[in-house]
C-alpha cells in the first residue's frame, strides 16, 4: 500500500501529461501530493522532514509553473530537492560529524560505524548525481523527454536501493540482547 502511495503522484502526473499538457499535469501532481501527504499524515500522525520538503517544493515550484505559465520551474524541482539533500547530508557528515542515516535508521539496522559512514557518503554522491542528471535533462531536452525521464528515471533510485541493500546485508549485526529476555 505504501509503495503504491509513493508512486501515485508521479503516475498521475505522467498520465495527465500524456492526455493533456505539462500545466494540467503540474496541477494534478500538486493535488495528488497534497492528498498523498494527507493520507500519510492520517496513517502515521506525522510527516517525515523529507515528505514535508517534497510537499513544499512541489507546491512552490508547481505554483510558479502555473502562475508564470513556465514549465522550467517544475522541471527544476528535483534538481533543487536532490541538491539540497546532498548538501545537507554532506554538511552533517563532514561538517557536523553526524551521520543522518545512522540517526534515522540506527535503531532498525545494527551496522559497524565504517559501514554507516560509507552509506552516508554513498547517499551524498547519489543525491548529487540525481541533482546533476535532472539538471542536464531539464536544460538540454524537451519537456516531453524530461517527463519520460522522470517516469523511466525511477530505475536510478531502485538500482541504488538494491545495491545498497546488497552492500549492507553481509555487514548486518544482531542487535544487543534485551535484558528482559535473558
* Chain position carrying cell 536532490: 82
**pLDDT digit string, tens, across residues 16-51:** 999 999 999 999 999 999 999 999 999 989 988 878
Distant-in-sequence contacts of 173-180, Cβ < 8 A, 24+ apart: 173/110, 173/111, 173/112, 174/110, 175/110, 176/110
**pLDDT digit string, tens, across residues 100-153:** 888 887 777 888 889 889 999 999 999 999 999 999 999 999 999 999 998 888
Alpha-carbon distance 83 to 21, whole Å?
A: 27
Look up the pTM and report it. Answer: 0.80
Amino acid at each position: 500500500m505504501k509503495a503504491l502511495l509513493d508512486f501515485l503522484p508521479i503516475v498521475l502526473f505522467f498520465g495527465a501529461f500524456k492526455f493533456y499538457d505539462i500545466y494540467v499535469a503540474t496541477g494534478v501532481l500538486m493535488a495528488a501530493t497534497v492528498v498523498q501527504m494527507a493520507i500519510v499524515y492520517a496513517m502515521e500522525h506525522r510527516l517525515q522532514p523529507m515528505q514535508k520538503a517534497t510537499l513544499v517544493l512541489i507546491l512552490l515550484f508547481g505554483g510558479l509553473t502555473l502562475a508564470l505559465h513556465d514549465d522550467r520551474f517544475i522541471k527544476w524541482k528535483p534538481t533543487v530537492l536532490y541538491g539540497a539533500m546532498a548538501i545537507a547530508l554532506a554538511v552533517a557528515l563532514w561538517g557536523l560529524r553526524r551521520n543522518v542515516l545512522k540517526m534515522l535508521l540506527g535503531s532498525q539496522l545494527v551496522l559497524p560505524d565504517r559501514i554507516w559512514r560509507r552509506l552516508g557518503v554513498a547517499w551524498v554522491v547519489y543525491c548529487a548525481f540525481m541533482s546533476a542528471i535532472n539538471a542536464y535533462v531539464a536544460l538540454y531536452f524537451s519537456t516531453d523527454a524530461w517527463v519520460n525521464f522522470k517516469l523511466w528515471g525511477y530505475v536510478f533510485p531502485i538500482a541504488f536501493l538494491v545495491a545498497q541493500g546488497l552492500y549492507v546485508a553481509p555487514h548486518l549485526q544482531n542487535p544487543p540482547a534485551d535484558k528482559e529476555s535473558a
